[in-house]
Structure 1
Amino acid sequence: MQSFKEDFSLAAGSYLLNHSVGRPLKDAEQAFSQQFFAPWKASGVEPWQEWLTVIDQFTMSLAKLFNGSAEEFCPQVNLSSALTKLVMSLPQLAHDKAVVLMSELDFPSMGFALQKALPDSCELRFIPKELDITEADVWQSYINVDIDLVFVSHVYSNTGQQAPLADIVDVAKSKNVLTLIDVAQSAGIVPLDLAALQPDFMIGSSVKWLCGGPGAAYLWVSPQHIEGCQPKDVGWFSHENPFEFDIHNFRYHPTALKFWGGTPSIAPYAIAAHSIGYFAEMGSHKLREHNQWLIDVIAEQFETELVSPRLEAKRSGTLILDFGGKQQQVLAALLRADVSVDLRSEGIRVSPHIYNDMADVERLLSVIKECR
């Protein structure tokens, strides 16, 4: 089996914390220098023309990874900002009794953003955290005709569960409900084909499995909605022609870039575009296959401690283990052994990537067995 360790900057030990940051490519610094610093340092001319090609590379890499079109993606500084901009742009949420549905298991920041972005008269409705959000029937029972938008995390960070996206999108379409998919925890590790799924909107980041670092989030808008969206948080790069410089005449950009805003950051996208391009070339299916193979090896050793789903179709790229009263002891032993994992409310989270191998898993298992 091919090893990818040589492509990444890996410290001593076993890094199994890929749901958090991921490891950078070894040539990331060189790519960053070439795309960001070189145009700035190499001549006395304006570097923006070359810098903006970085954004083109970023959106084209995302399009390849998710099987979409580059003009449907817009760079964003983070998911909360992307969500706020989107929600405030939708005429479907402007009426007094608009209802947005999400799960109590969603990342809190998404709930915070929705609470502040929605008009006061709107309702934010929750699927209780006790319900199994891997089951399509749960979603179907909550997606009613009075719902205007359903917010769905592709996978849930604290439980390792995967939402049944295809079923959710299908039932939402049948009831004329908009769908917004959050792929922050799944991008790269759980395949998602936008052309096949056909949701309405998607938000994501580059910081975790895509190993692209913070500051390079993105918003995807279905082509059927681009024209109808009316962003309020705009700037000169939201303009049809940013360099027209007519303060009396604002026209939305005809693509998803209408959500871009003011003078853009370039540096985060130079790193992320390079990394996403690497994984897009490899393909999410290959990443998923390797990840699930290693997860299976670990899961087989822990019949009673396994918290995350056992069925592959229902689980994310993260395995969650609960050792009860020995939780802190196990975590401390793993950290002393340079096995990088973390602890959340449901248990210890373990996330193997393409550069992890059986040696990393055996190291993890050895430490845990000593504690038991």
Structure 2
Amino acid sequence: MTADPRDLFEVPGPGPYLLSHSVGCLPRGSRARLNKDLLDPWAEEGSDGWSTWLPAIDAFRAGVAGLIGAEVAEVCPQPSVSAALTAILSGLKREPGRDVLLASAHAFATVGFAMRQLGALGFKLELIPEDRNPIDPQSWTDAIGPHVAAIVPMHVHSNSGLVSPMAEIARLARAAGAISVVDACQAVGILPVQPQLWGVDALVGSSVKWLCGGPGAGFLWMRRELIGTFAPINAGWFSHANPFEFDIRDFRYAEDARRFWGGTPAPAPCVLAASGIETVMDIGITAILAANRVLIDTMADAADVEFAMQDRGGTLCLTCDDVDGAEAALRALGCRFDRRRDILRLSFHIWNDEGQARRIGAALRGRVIRLVG
């Protein structure tokens, strides 16, 4: 690693880039990695490039496994979180009277879209309403019952940054006989993600945000002892126990998480994502989170406010009495951030520095800014 981890990324301008919650910056090593693991074998070997591409995909699976403390056999690449969630829930065995899929109305919209479409398989989506706090276990206690087949809580909420008590929510689901599938998109790469320690059944995630792996490389994890009980609808030759058997009359699910894979895999996103994961792991998630907190404190001090970041992810989700004015002040600095309705979202990563944080805080000083939630 170079002396300054900020040198490891190609950072868009013109001002501070604060969009890790959306798309993380491109690691400088990813272009060479893409050439070596995908483009060069394609150009030089054509179809025989698979002898390089499949190990490259396995490197991505291994990276995810190392990141979340899992076995490689429990990890399967997915094109997106929506696809991962659909793959898991479509394979869930229906039990009479247990047909509800439960999420919070505060979840990212794609979660609800994917779950709602499983009505075609006889499931029903129920949402814990917006006026119930999604990180309060009581909100889940009141909603989980014998009719619930699966719950899908978010580890970190995208519109507030609030962190759910995953172990407690998983315990509630388990006691009610429901499976728990965690959406870890806004957590992985900035917070410790420990599904086995939490006691959850499955997890979906993405490489595009804090992991700086680009779009197209989602993933799912499922605890090993549960995998064999799922029969996902989206089956293809790479879901097969032996993809190269080629007997159209004999389909057998892979014994490990690859049963959720489907058809021909896409090496390019996996190659880029593996590079992102390795870069992030080389720096260290602990170091990235520590830098995030220092920069948030520096910004808050310059703005003359206090932000309590306990039980928060890496994103500052802010609201203000004059959101338009606050947005304009940040745009004037050339900041790259986003706005959802009246919420401004800013994410400090390792490539940001304290000078940027001070300028951002100074631009917001005198405004009544506060954390959402």
The partner residue of 2:347 within 336, 348, 351 is: 351
Equivalent residues in 2 for 1:32-181, closer than 5 Å: 32-43=34-45, 46-91=48-93, 93=94, 95=96, 97-119=98-120, 121-181=122-182
Deviation at 1:185, TM superposition (A): 1.2
One-letter amino acid of the structure 2 residue matched with residue 270 of structure 1? V
Deviation at 1:303, TM superposition (A): 7.6
Deviation at 1:265, TM superposition (A): 0.8
How far apart, CA to CA, are the structure 2 residues paired with 1:286 and 1:156? Answer: 22
Corresponding residue for residue 240 of structure 2: 239
Deviations 1:325-365 (A, max 9, x none): x3223212322321111111342111101221211211211
One-letter amino acid of the structure 1 residue matched with residue 153 of structure 2? V
The partner residue of 2:310 within 291, 308, 313 is: 313
The partner residue of 1:335 within 331, 338, 345 is: 331
Moved more, 315-324 or 71-80: 315-324
How far apart, CA to CA, are the structure 2 residues paired with 1:45 and 1:302? Answer: 57
Deviations 1:63-89 (A, max 9, x none): 111000111111111111111121110
- Overall identity of the aligned pairs, in %: 34
Corresponding residue for residue 194 of structure 1: 195
For the residue of structure 2 that corresponds to 1:40, the secondary structure is helix
Structure 1 runs of 4+ aligned residues shifted over 6 Å read none
How far apart, CA to CA, are the structure 1 residues paired with 2:134 and 2:304? Answer: 22
How far apart, CA to CA, are the structure 1 residues paired with 2:271 and 2:44? Answer: 17
Q: Is the 8 A contact 2:90 2:118 kept in 1?
A: yes
Equivalent residues in 2 for 1:293-308, closer than 5 Å: 293-300=294-301
How far apart, CA to CA, are the structure 2 residues paired with 1:105 and 1:220? Answer: 23
Moved more, 217-226 or 116-125: 116-125
Deviation at 1:300, TM superposition (A): 5.0
TM-score (structure 1 length as normaliser)? 0.92
CA RMSD of aligned residues (A): 2.1
How far apart, CA to CA, are the structure 2 residues paired with 1:369 and 1:194? Answer: 40
One-letter amino acid of the structure 2 residue matched with residue 349 of structure 1? R
One-letter amino acid of the structure 2 residue matched with residue 267 of structure 1? A
For the residue of structure 1 that corresponds to 2:142, the secondary structure is helix
For the residue of structure 2 that corresponds to 1:330, the secondary structure is helix
Deviation at 1:278, TM superposition (A): 1.9
Deviation at 1:60, TM superposition (A): 0.3
Deviation at 1:258, TM superposition (A): 0.7
How far apart, CA to CA, are the structure 2 residues paired with 1:44 and 1:128? Answer: 52
Moved more, 109-118 or 40-49: 40-49
One-letter amino acid of the structure 1 residue matched with residue 357 of structure 2? V
Corresponding residue for residue 365 of structure 2: 369
One-letter amino acid of the structure 2 residue matched with residue 336 of structure 1? A
Q: Is the 8 A contact 2:195 2:203 kept in 1?
A: no
Deviation at 1:366, TM superposition (A): 2.5
The partner residue of 2:320 within 304, 323, 329 is: 323
Unaligned runs of 5+ in 1: none
Q: Is the 8 A contact 1:65 1:284 kept in 2?
A: no
Corresponding residue for residue 33 of structure 2: 31
Deviations 1:99-122 (A, max 9, x none): 121100011111111111134653
Moved more, 126-135 or 244-253: 126-135
Deviations 1:247-280 (A, max 9, x none): 1111111110011111111111110111112223
Q: Is the 8 A contact 2:5 2:283 kept in 1?
A: no
Taking structure 1 as reference, are residues 366 and 300 closer, same or farther at Cα in structure 2, changes over 3 Å only? closer
Taking structure 1 as reference, are residues 141 and 288 closer, same or farther at Cα in structure 2, changes over 3 Å only? farther
Deviations 1:215-241 (A, max 9, x none): 000111110111111112111111111
Deviations 1:297-327 (A, max 9, x none): 33456688x8xxx543321211122222x32
For the residue of structure 2 that corresponds to 1:118, the secondary structure is helix
One-letter amino acid of the structure 2 residue matched with residue 320 of structure 1? C
Q: Is the 8 A contact 2:118 2:124 kept in 1?
A: no
Deviation at 1:97, TM superposition (A): 4.3
